[in-house]
Amino acid sequence: MWSVFTDIVMLRAYDEREAELGRRGALSDRRIELRARFIATRDAENRTSVLDVGAGPAQDGSGFVDAGFGYLAIDLAHENGRRSRARGFDFTQASAPALALRTGSFDAGWSMSTLLHLDDTTAVRPSPSSLGCSFLARRACWPSGDTNARSSW
């Protein structure tokens, strides 16, 4: 059963416990396929960097880095940061909406199995023109605000 968290403290405690227990299994074939499709758009849309929102232990990181992306993982859990850094990935422990990023600092945003845990009135609001891309990713990715220019994701 999925839970929606409206309290950031509760969400952080949940994420920390999940990370400590190491409950993350191998990535599913479907997730790997979706990541590959996402990466395949890179050349067509001239993307070079990706912000992984709710990255957990950065399981998708190697796929992005191996494809040549600049990569930053963000997650609430300190333990996920420890695991991400141990694998060589840049990591910032933060709440997605609270993360201070320069506008346009990333040209792609990735989030899997994260947005469903958040109350959209509290944290992220998906854009109709960019499925799964939060207001944070829109701010970081599209400084002009023209999300339709990159509506394929």
Question: pLDDT (tens digit, 9 = 90+) per residue, 76-106?
Answer: 899 999 999 999 999 999 877 677 777 778 8
- Report whether pLDDT(55) > 60: yes
Distance CA 34, CA 146 (A): 24
Q: Three-state secondary structure along the chain?
A: CCCCECCHHHHHHHHHHHHHHCCCCCCCHHHHHHHHHHHHHHHHHCCCEEEEECCCCCCCHHHHHHCCCEEEEEECCHHHHHHHHHCCCCEEECCHHHCCCCCCCCCCEECCCCHHHECCCCCCCCECCECCCCHHHHHHHCCCCCHHHHCCC
Q: What is the pTM of this model?
A: 0.72
Average pLDDT of the segment spanning 12-38: 83
Residue 17: its pLDDT value, please?
A: 81
Residue spans per domain, the chain: 45-148
Q: Give CATH for domain 45-148.
A: 3.40.50.150
